[in-house]
Structure 1
Amino acid sequence: MSKTTRATQLLSQAGVAFTVHAYDYDPNAERVGLQAAEALGEAPHRVLKTLMAEVDGNPVCVVVPSDREVSMKKLASAFHGKSANMMRPADVGGISPFGQKKTVPTAIEEAALGEPLVYINGGQRGLQVRLDPKHALKALKAVAAPLIA
């Protein structure tokens, strides 16, 4: 497994301190984020999942704790929209908010910013980056908002 991905390259270029953590990815896991947390030996609220959604028909990226669900109403509000819906995972696949081919607006659950370090997808399945969530927010030019139901 390569530990250099578009995600890690973006973080390095942005001067963000991070560490890379590989784990045994289970493609059959019912909830991939929770499986990652267990494999890493971390609390699920510190392992953030990356989801793709649409707000008023426009794609957005959402980063929330792996043990929580996104509130569509709060998500729409975070982007000053009227409605939101999740994209189908089959249309998106495993993703990282860092180094996406097409950059989209990103929101991070504000509660995650209270953690000293979090894990976020590092650009391939079975690879997480561990970093200060405030540095992730800045590198992504993301908004922090209450997003969970």
Structure 2
Amino acid sequence: MTKPDAGGTPATVALLQAGIRFTAHHYPHDAAVAGYGLEAADKLGLDPDQVFKTLLADTGGTLVVAIVPVSGQLDLKALATAVGAKKAVMADPVLAERKTGYVVGGISPIGQKARLITVLDETAELFDTVYVSGGRRGFDLELSPADLIAVTAATVAAIGRDR
């Protein structure tokens, strides 16, 4: 599944170094579209439940990575519970970019500048493969949920909710 021209992002480098099999999927990103994950699902012809977005939340001074389906939303209360915090709020986008090394809309849960606590929504385990950002807009990575958990040291919890 690994492609020689895998995209050359920190995410693909991390996956290659870890020996994790993945498939890179490029698609033309429309700068006018703000729903990056839904755009990926649409342009790649995928079920939005199988495409996951990477969000950062602040849980009282600790940044946490949350990975949830693009078809729904992050349940901040559930995320706080999953990491043993009192509450969670969405992180400032500038801080998210600085801590991950990626731009908003292209934040990958893989290969971030700093290793952050990561929580993956439990629905990921319903699929043989899931799609996450590859580290830039217009670029997604397909890999098994087990490999995503392994490469990010994620815990799995019910942190997503329907829109």
Partner residue of 2:52?
48
* Runs of 4 or more above 4 Å deviation: none
Unaligned runs of 5+ in 2: 97-103
1:124 deviates by 1.4
For residue 107 of structure 1, the aligned residue among 119, 128, 133 is 119
1:138 deviates by 0.9
> One-letter code of the match for 1:7?
A
Aligned length: 149
Partner residue of 2:76?
72
1:15 deviates by 1.3
1:42 deviates by 0.3
1:129–1:2 CA distance, 2 compared to 1 (3 A): closer
Q: How far apart, in 2, do the equivalents of 1:137 and 1:66 lie?
A: 18
Contact map agreement 1:26 1:32 (CA 8 A) in 2: no
Partner residue of 1:38?
42
Contact map agreement 2:36 2:137 (CA 8 A) in 1: no
Cα RMSD after superposing both structures: 1.5
Matched residues, percent identical?
38
Contact map agreement 1:137 1:143 (CA 8 A) in 2: yes
Partner residue of 1:125?
137
1:46 deviates by 0.7
> One-letter code of the match for 1:99?
G
1:27 deviates by 2.6
Contact map agreement 2:54 2:107 (CA 8 A) in 1: yes
Q: How far apart, in 2, do the equivalents of 1:122 and 1:30 lie?
A: 17
Residue 49 of structure 2: SS of its match in structure 1?
helix
Q: How far apart, in 1, do the equivalents of 2:89 and 2:115 lie?
A: 19
2:11 is aligned with 1:11: no
1:58-89 Cα offsets, whole Å, 9 max, x none, are: 11111110011011110001111110011233
Q: How far apart, in 1, do the equivalents of 2:52 and 2:24 lie?
A: 14
TM-score (norm 2): 0.86
Partner residue of 1:63?
67
2:154 is aligned with 1:142: yes
